[in-house]
Amino acid sequence: MTIHVLIQCSKKKSLEFSPEMTWSSHTTLKSWKTNWEKQRLKTDAQKLYTGRAIKRELKFISLNDDVKGYIISAGAGLAKLDDKIPSYESIFSNSNGPNYSQWHQLPLGGLSKIDPKESDVIVSFAAPNYQRAIKKDPAFEKLASKFVVASTSPLSSHQNVTSVKIHPRTAELLKVAYIDLNSELLNQYLLGGIERLKKIYLECEKLPPIEQRRKISDEDLLILINSLGAISSINNSVNYIRHKLGISASYERIRNAIQQLRHKH
């Protein structure tokens, strides 16, 4: 059995992109494909994206011989890890990229490049906007019964898709920042399949009630973080502030405060 894993691309890339490879309100599929073919500087898809999440996911994929990875890209389409692609700027947002129904028409095509065998599965814990593009792909209906996704996925409502229930406190149990949850769900699935995710859900059910966290102003949050001294990592700071000190502040809010203090110094 082969596990076909679909992960999302990242904004951070190893190569600079040319102005013509920025999707704008004037870009059409035809012009995008034309400019795409003109690009001489290309690299393997797995080397182009340098975001933290995708680097972790590529590592998980590389550790498993029975796993085949693909990258869902708003500029390329569905890229195999060794596909040669240029750098670009394109997202699923307003006029800065293709709409979901255009995704499969991008330079590298869509789901039709996956040809699973009877026992194969297609797994994706990508963010909702990437999965909405998958849902609009004409080949999705044919492949729906192969898909394994989280219960929060836009694909989970399809009657033939296998949906795995994810507890709201999963990130807390696994001790990861919420922003890293999708990557960790992939890791856990590759370690033990659906049964492992089901066990994680049951463990979440046994967690003690959430402690009431105290609210804090932005000014006081800055003072608090500044008082902590050296910060080893944003994730460690988030865990300490939220879980050890009982402060009500999101990952993004704490991260922004840390970055604001770093700029001052």
Please say whether the beta carbons of 124 and 131 come within 8 A: yes
pTM of the model: 0.81
Residue matched to tokens 């699973």: 116
Report in angstroms the alpha-carbon separations of 225 from 4, 177, 180, 189, 253: 42, 18, 22, 35, 12
Q: pLDDT for 113-163, tens place per residue?
A: 999 999 999 999 999 999 999 999 999 999 999 999 999 899 999 999 999
Tally the residues of the chain: 265
More confident site: 211 or 84: 84
* C-alpha to C-alpha distances, 86 to 77, 100, 135, 223, nearest whole angstrom: 13, 21, 25, 44
CA 169 to chain centre: 18
Per-residue tokens: 13: 């890339």
pLDDT digits over 98-127, tens only?
Answer: 999 999 999 999 999 999 999 999 999 999
Instruction: Give yes or no for a contact between 103 and 29, defined as CB atoms under 8 angstroms apart.
Output: no
Residue 158 φ then ψ, to 5°? -70, 135
Q: What pLDDT is attached to residue 206?
A: 95
- Beta-bridged to residue 230, according to DSSP, are none
pLDDT of residue 49: 97
Residue 264's pLDDT band, with cuts at 50, 70 and 90, is low
Q: Annotate 42-105 with DSSP letters as a single string.
A: -EEHHHHB--HHHHHHHHHHHT-TTEEEEEEETTTEEEETT-EE---B--SSTTSS--GGGGGG
Contact 58, 6 (CB under 8 A): no
**Contact status, residue 137 vs residue 101, Cβ threshold 8 Å:** no
Residue 265 has pLDDT above 60, yes or no: no
CA distances from 182 to 101, 179, 206 (A): 24, 8, 22
Cα–Cα distance list, 161 to 58, 81, 192 (Å): 24, 25, 19
Could you read off the pLDDT of 18-57 as tens digits, one per residue? 999 999 989 999 999 999 999 999 999 999 999 999 999 9
Phi, psi of 28 (to 5 degrees): -120, 165
Residues 6+ apart with CB under 8 A from 146: 4, 116, 120, 121, 122
CB 15 within 8 A of CB 48: yes
